[in-house]
């Protein structure tokens, strides 16, 4: 009985056209060098033949092998008993599925990063942060971009790559701390969140917009020297944290996502 077309398709596609043992492609230059080997021979006296086991030409009883490995498993059936061939087949097919999934996940993460970096000038962020504590570009609006991305693409986040997600979260948190600080008020020698004021002190915005509307700058007009010193002292470790987490993320993306469009 000839092998059914559906079984042939299943066998070749689940194995990604590779010999299940040596992983060689079973079709080379339009020549089929692969063979659909029987796990249990059709003849009771053939390799692994057993009068009690049903022998057939279905996908279940076949394994895709190159001609060399086919010869090996059939000439030394005791080295390749039935359970061993079944294990080789199921492991090979599971590896193929896992590889396909990994590729899909990689492509999805790559495309998410490319979308994010269309809106975040990612490689310039370090330089932007270095302008602190004196000024910060308004293009440094990472939390907003990230929030809108997640809202528009709920399936894309968290990233498939767990380490990427972890590094991104830290980076985002450090960026948020910086942005929130530029929205703070300073009252005496204490900072308060945006919109929060103390009544026993005169409060000023820690940062204000510059004349061109491109940056926020330290509110030098209203802050005392002591307060400016305090802003500088407070901002310095925040910037260091941010630069560190940004660098970690850049390095990881460079290493892991070589096709990234920054
Ligand atoms: Zn082979």
What are 104-125's pLDDT values in tens digits? 999 999 999 999 999 999 999 9
Do 27 and 8 form a contact (C-beta atoms < 8 A)?
Answer: no
pLDDT band for position 2 (cuts 50, 70, 90): confident
Cα 70 to ligand 1 centre (Å): 7
Cα 75 to ligand 1 centre (Å): 14
Cα 24 to ligand 1 centre (Å): 6
Cα 39 to ligand 1 centre (Å): 15
Q: 57 Cβ partners below 8 Å, 6+ apart?
A: 1, 2, 3, 4, 7, 38, 42
Residue 130 CA: distances (Å) to CA of 32, 124, 215, 236, 250? 61, 10, 13, 9, 16
pLDDT band for position 62 (cuts 50, 70, 90): very high
Q: Is the pLDDT of residue 50 over 80?
A: no
Query: In whole angstroms, what is the distance from residue 39 CA to residue 80 CA?
Result: 9
Beta bridge mates, 37: 63
Query: In whole angstroms, what is the distance from residue 247 CA to residue 52 CA?
Result: 65
What are 15-29's pLDDT values in tens digits? 999 999 999 999 988
From the CB of residue 162, how many other CB atoms can be counted at a distance below 10 Å?
9
Q: Is the pLDDT of residue 54 over 70?
A: no
Cα 64 to ligand 1 centre (Å): 9
Beta bridge mates, 185: 192, 205
Q: Three-state SS for 12?
A: helix
Cα 72 to ligand 1 centre (Å): 9
Cα 54 to ligand 1 centre (Å): 26
Burial degree of 231 (CB within 10 A; 0-12, 13-18, 19+): buried
Cα 28 to ligand 1 centre (Å): 13
Residue 146 CA: distances (Å) to CA of 140, 143, 173? 12, 5, 11
Cα 51 to ligand 1 centre (Å): 28
What 56-62 contacts at long range (C-beta under 8 Å, 24+ apart), as own/partner pairs, is 56/1, 57/1, 57/2, 57/3, 57/4, 57/7, 58/3, 58/4, 58/7, 59/6, 59/7, 59/10, 59/11, 62/3, 62/7, 62/11, 62/36, 62/37, 62/38
For 25-47, what is the mean pLDDT? 89
Cα 106 to ligand 1 centre (Å): 29
């Amino acid at each position: 009985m000839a092998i059914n077309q559906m079984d042939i398709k299943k066998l070749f596609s689940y194995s990604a056209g590779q010999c299940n043992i040596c992983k060689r492609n079973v079709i080379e230059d339009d020549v089929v060098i692969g063979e659909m080997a029987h796990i249990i021979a059709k003849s009771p006296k053939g390799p692994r033949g057993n009068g009690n086991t049903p022998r057939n030409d279905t996908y279940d009883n076949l394994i895709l092998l190159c001609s060399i490995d086919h010869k090996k498993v059939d000439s030394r059936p005791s080295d390749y008993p039935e359970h061993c061939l079944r294990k080789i087949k199921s492991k090979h097919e599971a590896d193929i599925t896992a590889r396909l999934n990994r590729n899909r996940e990689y492509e999805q993460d790559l495309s998410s990063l490319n979308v994010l970096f269309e809106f975040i000038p990612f490689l310039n962020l370090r330089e932007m942060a270095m302008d602190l504590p004196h000024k910060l570009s308004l293009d440094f609006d990472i939390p907003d971009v990230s929030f809108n991305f997640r809202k528009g693409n709920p399936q894309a986040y968290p990233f498939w790559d767990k380490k990427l997600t972890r590094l991104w979260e830290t980076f985002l948190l450090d960026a948020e701390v910086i942005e929130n600080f530029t929205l703070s008020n300073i009252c005496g020698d204490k900072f308060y969140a945006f919109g929060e004021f103390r009544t026993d002190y005169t409060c000023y915005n820690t940062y204000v917009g510059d004349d061109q509307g491109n940056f926020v700058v330290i509110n030098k007009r209203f802050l005392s020297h002591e307060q400016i010193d305090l802003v500088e002292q407070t901002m310095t470790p925040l910037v260091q944290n941010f630069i560190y987490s940004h660098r970690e993320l850049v390095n990881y993306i460079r290493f892991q996502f070589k096709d990234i469009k920054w």
